[in-house]
Amino acid sequence: MPVRIRIYGKEAIYDQGAWTCDDDSLTAMLQSMVDPRAVHTADHEREHALYAAGRFGGLILLETGWVPAEHPAPEITLEDLTGRKPGSESRSGLFSFFKRRPSR
pLDDT for position 73: 83
Per-position DSSP letters for 3-72, written without gaps between them: EEEEETTEEEEEETTEEEES-HHHHHHHHTT--TTS---HHHHHHHHHHHHHHTT-EEEETTEEEEPPPP
**What's the confidence (pLDDT) of residue 98?**
72
pLDDT at 18: 94
pLDDT at 94: 67
pTM: 0.70
Which stretches of the chain score pLDDT less than 50? none
